[in-house]
Amino acid sequence: MAGPQTVWGIDVGKSAFKAVRLRAAGDGVEVVSTDYIEHSKIMSQQDADPDALWSSALEKFLAKNDITNDKIVIGVPGAQTLARFSKLPPVENKKKIPDIVRYEADQQIPFDMDEVVWDYQVFEAEGNPDVEVGIFAIKRELIRDHLVHFDSQGIEAHAVQAAPLAAFNAMHFDGLVGEKATVIVDIGTESTDLIIGTESSLWTRSIQLGGNNFTEALVKAFKLSFSKAETLKRTAATSKYARQIFQAMRPVFADLVQELQRSVGYYTATHRDVDIGKVYGMGNAFKLPGLQKYIKQNLQLDLIKIDNYTKIRIPSNEGSAGDASNYSVAYGLALQGFNLGKVTSNLLPPEIALASAWKKKRPFLAAAAACLLLTAGVVWFRGMTDRKTLEANSGQPPTVTEDSAWGTILNPPDLPPRPYGKLISAAASSLKSQYGRLNSQGSAEIKKAETIEKLLANRTVWIKVLSAIHAALPAPSDEIQATTDADEYVQAIKTAGLSRDKRNEIFIQSFSSKYEPDIDSATIIEGDYSEESIKIYEKKGGEKRPGFIVELRGYAPHQKLGGTQAKEKGLFVNNEFVRTLRKTGRIPGQGFFINRIGLTVAQEHQPGGGGGKGRQGRGRGGTPPPAQAGPKTKDPITGEIADDDYHFYIMIEVVLADLPEEKQK
């Protein structure tokens, strides 16, 4: 195993400081020591001094532990970070992925790129051509405020990772993440991290509900101070008033479960090919009476509280009664220091990483520079002496290398006028040759920068494109259009007696795009309804029109006249969405227009399962395969059988030009 012999993973929370020190042991690791330092007050309390609590915890940690030769990996709260996940368009050359991700990050991160530190992680499954990417970012001011406490104590970070990703690394390394999706619920002081991952994918969300919300519920119910309510919460499991405490906190339980249900429902709706496996709970909040049972019953999933791990053992006599789940983030951070984490992204600001690297190399560089300077001086002096002697006895022009050209011009030797002129001329020729070589080397980078600049110039168009697509979607039935949440939606359906084929709804599951410098020659768009051949604007002569191929994937519960054939059911999507999109996407003066559109069946669900086939639109990069047939699927909101829904694929040609004035063809 490459890397240092010992690594510290440090997780500083609002209520406690947690650290795990790992040591290499064969192909794995073992725990050397742990440290758990509870703050005297919760940092978010009104009368707390967070800076003083930070300093106190770090001083106690350094007083007990010698970290001189250890690598340090530091965690940051998930609530302070941004996580975005998207599927990349088909890429034949993997070397292009970093450039595509940089463009994607600029679109996904809602801040100026100079204001954030970001990194990404590519997720690929063996045998699956799809490539998903997770983009993770944190504002520079937040990460600097976080690291300044460590810097003040002389602690130098090797890497920085978001807490949810570190927890996932711990679970993945410990063998608790498999082919089925594993759900991790990590309840912290101010927020809850929800992590859903498989061997080859990851999705996270930060929910703004945590331990403090339970405490505030007790403050309100029993008219206590925050500190007394916190004590009551921590002793609730053994209190004779456990039932009353549960009832006081029940509204917070309900809010938390509702957010978990909504998040898991969204995940299952967007990852229909993934089954939910086990649910693991982390954090001291799971010691609250009734919480574990309440979540288990409402999610209808088996929830297991982490007591310890299989590949390491947390000593039972250390830190918060030896509760292993309290060390999950620190465990995952330390694993990343050994390059054993599934997620390897790093939110350490590049300038800090560079400064740290230079600091370590400075003594060696100074010695090397001294030797190089001495050697170069000897060589230069000898070369100049020999050259002067040679030119005095020969008419041959002097030779000046690129390395010595500047030195020759700035500090010319004392020569007669004729040899002096030849020497300066040779040095100038050498510099000119060097300039030409360097200039030609930069042409490829300049061309790439120009391409990226063109893409950025068109990013405002995307707002209009999305608006055109949104405006083309049919309005839901009047009975459900006014609903504001899932419960109202289900109730409205039941009250009105609306079957799935009467709801006038279309759901978009995924959206991806690919830029084409010559969109007309780069793609062939086909569809079951031949929309691509109706009213298209052909290019003039040999002009090249840039644009995007937008790929939409979705489904509609609507059936035309109760039909079961894909062609018949797809008439609703074609007539109510595709044809309207031709109008909303063809407004003059928008800087773009929608040209060809191809609607294709992606999967035909039949009662009892089964899959039909339809023609697939195709582009130069290939078309994603149709969804795979499987067991009966259910609507994530209403719970109805959804096997008979019409699943479709739409390819849209967006031309980056104003709508032509000539007649349509």
Tokens 């790093």 sit at which residue?
346
Q: Which amino acid is it at 45? A: Q
The mean pLDDT values, 10 residues at a time, for the chain of 665 residues are 77 94 90 92 89 93 93 95 87 84 90 93 82 93 93 92 96 90 93 93 93 93 91 88 89 92 90 88 87 87 86 67 80 94 93 69 56 62 59 60 77 80 81 73 64 62 87 83 81 83 83 85 69 70 82 78 56 87 89 89 47 37 44 75 82 88 53
State both tokens at 184.
């991790």
Tell me which of 443, 467, 491 is where a domain ends. 443
Does residue 124 fall inside a structural domain? no
Quick: pLDDT tens for 593-633.
Answer: 998 898 888 744 433 333 333 333 333 334 444 444 446 67
Strand order across the beta sheet in which 6-12 lies: 28-38, 16-25, 6-12, 71-76, 159-162
- Domain co-membership, 551 together with 635: yes
- Domain co-membership, 85 together with 69: yes
Quote the DSSP letter at residue 157.
-
- Domain co-membership, 648 together with 531: yes
- Domain co-membership, 438 together with 472: no
State both tokens at 643.
């096997």
For residue 167, the domain's CATH number is: 3.30.420.40
The burial of 540, by beta-carbon neighbours within 10 Å (0-12 exposed, 13-18 middle, 19 or more buried), is given as exposed
Does residue 118 fall inside a structural domain? no
Q: Measure the N-to-C terminal CA separation of the chain; round to a whole number of Å.
A: 65
**Number of domains into which the chain is organized:** 4
- Domain co-membership, 540 together with 397: no
Query: Residue 94: its pLDDT value, please?
Result: 81
- Domain co-membership, 183 together with 300: yes
- Domain co-membership, 167 together with 203: no
Does residue 127 fall inside a structural domain? no
CA distances from 282 to 80, 234, 305, 599 (A): 19, 15, 6, 45
Domain region containing 636: 458-655
DSSP-assigned states of every residue in 114-150: GGEEEEEEEEE-TT---EEEEEEEEEHHHHHHHHHHH
Does residue 186 fall inside a structural domain? yes
Does residue 554 fall inside a structural domain? yes
Distance CA 449, CA 294 (A): 54
Does residue 313 fall inside a structural domain? no
- Domain co-membership, 218 together with 322: no
- Domain co-membership, 258 together with 230: yes
Crossing angle for the helix pair 211-222 and 226-234, nearest 10 degrees?
110
Query: Residue 289: its pLDDT value, please?
Result: 83
Q: Which of 353, 341, 330, 352 is nearest to 73 (CA)?
A: 330
- Domain co-membership, 411 together with 534: no
C-beta neighbour count of 481 within 10 angstroms: 10
Quick: pLDDT tens for 342-369.
Answer: 999 999 998 887 766 655 555 555 555 5
Quote the DSSP letter at residue 591.
S
Distance CA 602, CA 626 (A): 5
Say what the pTM is. 0.56
- Domain co-membership, 170 together with 185: no
Distance CA 416, CA 503 (A): 97
